[in-house]
Amino acid sequence: MKKTAINLGLAALFSAATISTYSFANGNLIKKEITKSVKAKESFNNIEFGFDKATISRDFEAELDELVAVAKENGYAIKLSGHADAIGEYVYNWKLSKSRADQVKNYLVNKGVSASKIASTEFGDTKPIASNATSEGRKKNRRVEIEIVD
């Protein structure tokens, strides 16, 4: 009788899978391992938002649906970080960045990801990834960052 086991750890999701085959020969258990590369998404794009908005654009639903599939299939936890551009008051931007992270979390939960597997935090306008002096830079700063955690 031959049995096969596939071990996928967090590192394996992003690089390789170890396939273990077990068989018996002359009363002895024989284990044979083969490591194979697997293709999975290593990172997820930031979810961007319109000015003064916390509504998820349809443009980002496919990205979030892919995140849902990876999270549900592998049971991984997700860390969400909400951000805002520098237009407006500090406290308002902080609340807006929280609303953005909450919207992404709600989307994931409504698609079947366990709420207990999602952590979110907000940063307001304190961690820009682009210049707030240009409209293009501000657009990039209005975002939720996604990280898969162990």
CB neighbourhood size of 68 (10 A): 18
Given a contact cutoff of 8 angstroms between Cβ atoms, the answer to whether 35 and 16 are in contact is yes
pTM for this one? 0.73
Phi-psi region for residue 27, left (φ > 0), alpha (ψ -120 to 50) or beta?
Answer: left
- For residue 78, pLDDT over 50 is answered with yes
Would you state the pLDDT for residue 51? 98
Residue 112 Cα to chain centre, angstroms: 14
Query: In whole numbers, what is the pLDDT of the chain averaged over residues?
Result: 84
